[in-house]
Amino acid sequence: MEWRVPLADVKLGIEEENAVLEVLRSGWLTMGAVTQAFEQELAAFVGAKHAFAVNNATAALHLAYLAVGLGEGDEVIVPSLTFVATANAVRYTGAKVVFADIESEDWLCICPDAIEEKITERTRAIVVMHYAGFACDMPAIMRIAEKHHLAVIEDAAHAIGASLDGKALGTWGDVGCYSFFGNKNMTTAEGGMLVTNDDQLAEKVRILRSHGMTTLTWDRHQGHASTYDVIDLGYNYRIDEIRSAIGREQLKKLPAGNARRGELVALYRELLAERTPQIQIPFEAERGLSSYHIMPVLLPESSQKEAVRASMKVQGIQTSWHYPPAHTFSIYGSGAASEEGRLAITDLAAKREITLPLYPTMREEQVEWVVDAIRDAL
Ligand SMILES: Cc1ncc(COP(=O)(O)O)c(C=O)c1O
């Protein structure tokens, strides 16, 4: 479908094209020197000691959960208002997902008090997701984790380039995971990155990312090793040089892209407040620097969300829903998991939320079109 305003729009440039061509002509396509450079540049950008490029953020989350030692019998506290991969990857390890509510309809991130209420003697970890690139209350969450000796994993899929108190989101907890999927603030088509400051966790991730092997094809190509042992049950979660080459160029463009997103969000706020005051716009408070990954708004409780979205579609405006809460999906036992008000704020916010278009090359006139379309739809 031809949208007047799509939800997201990815524009790669001549820089990415040239970087890919260079890899194609180099004769080395699988994980090697370009990936190492990408990892070093991203580690420096977020201020982490170690970074591991992987084939997607779901793999990064799986590795993170394995590295902190999750398994059968463990409980992990996870937001429900997230993409389902945050929770599913917990289940890959055999651990049990325990959902916790969000802070409020003004701040759609997991709530420290709700986390503390869900802690039992089997709890091993807390997973946070920085919704839209806005920070969870990390100082409070880290205090809870310390008090109860829990690992903290940050799903920072939305949050590359975002920070709180000057510290990058993704580097507050034990492990952070970024996504470079095709609609993210920076993309490698499919791809992800895991960061950590912990040497032992890093070593586990290094081994698990590539079949549990002690050396890589790249090491052997360089003559640094001639054989290998397999010391753990690992996976093939490697990225390749083509994607890493795109990622290096995308990383250079990220700060300007995020800043432009921020300007467009400010314009949205101004126009929505003026023309549709009945709409609630979360994340108004000052809390760190966002990456402005998406533009969520909450419709009035009485509105018919799908009718609003359909009316906007007729006007050529694409919208989305972030997210159908994970606890309502069949594999999480929908009905029962709705738990009658136990995730009350998540349920309410999710029912009201729609996501408006946002991307760095969006024109100001397009923001006006979106605002007018939502006003007319309401
Ligand atoms: C919050 C969140 N977590 C995890 C993921 C999974 O990322 P990937 O598609 O790179 O596996 C996504 C991607 O859409 C996401 O938005």
Catalytic residues: 184
Contacts of 126 (CB under 8 A, 6+ apart): 76, 77, 110, 115, 141, 144, 145, 150, 151, 152, 153, 173
- Cα atoms found within 13 Å of the Cα of residue 124, Cβ hemisphere only: 18
**Mean pLDDT to the nearest integer, 51-74:** 98
Residue 241 in domain:
yes
Residue 105 in domain:
yes
What's the 129 CA to ligand 1 centre distance in angstroms?
Answer: 10
Q: Best substitution site from 54, 56, 80, 83 to test ligand 1's pocket, by max atoms within 8 Å of Cβ?
A: 83
269 by Cβ neighbours in 10 Å (0-12 / 13-18 / 19+) ranks as middle
Q: Kindly report whether the global pTM for this prediction surpasses the value 0.75.
A: yes
CATH number for the domain spanning 330: value is: 3.90.1150.10
238 and 272, same domain (yes or no): no
346 and 286, same domain (yes or no): yes
Domain count, the chain: 2
- State the pLDDT at residue 341: 59
The share of the chain scoring above pLDDT 90, in percent, equals: 94
pLDDT for residue 334 is more than 80: no
What's the 139 CA to ligand 1 centre distance in angstroms?
Answer: 24
225 and 263, same domain (yes or no): no
> Which tens digits make up the pLDDT trace of 304-313?
999 999 999 9
> Which tens digits make up the pLDDT trace of 347-360?
999 999 999 999 99
pLDDT for residue 339 is more than 60: no
- State the pLDDT at residue 187: 98
Peptide bond into 292 cis (omega under 30): no
Q: Best substitution site from 80, 127, 181, 194 to test ligand 1's pocket, by max atoms within 8 Å of Cβ?
A: 181
195 and 160, same domain (yes or no): yes
Nearest CA to ligand 1 atom 7: 57
Residue 7 in domain:
no
Cα Rg for the chain, rounded, in angstroms?
Answer: 21
283 and 236, same domain (yes or no): no
41 and 150, same domain (yes or no): yes
Question: Strand ranges (DSSP E) for 29-173?
Answer: 50-54, 75-79, 96-100, 102-104, 107-110, 123-129, 151-155, 163-164, 167-168
Residue 4 in domain:
no
171 and 30, same domain (yes or no): yes
Residue 1 in domain:
no
DSSP, res 342: T
Question: For the chain, what is the mean pLDDT?
Answer: 96
CATH number for the domain spanning 172: value is: 3.40.640.10
Q: Which residues line ligand 1 (CB under 6 A)?
A: 56-58, 82-83, 85-86, 129, 155, 157-158, 179, 181, 192
- State the pLDDT at residue 340: 52
158 and 298, same domain (yes or no): no
What's the 171 CA to ligand 1 centre distance in angstroms?
Answer: 17
- State the pLDDT at residue 221: 82
209 and 293, same domain (yes or no): no
Residue 3 in domain:
no
223 against 46, higher pLDDT = 46
What's the 364 CA to ligand 1 centre distance in angstroms?
Answer: 28
Domain limits for position 33: 14-249
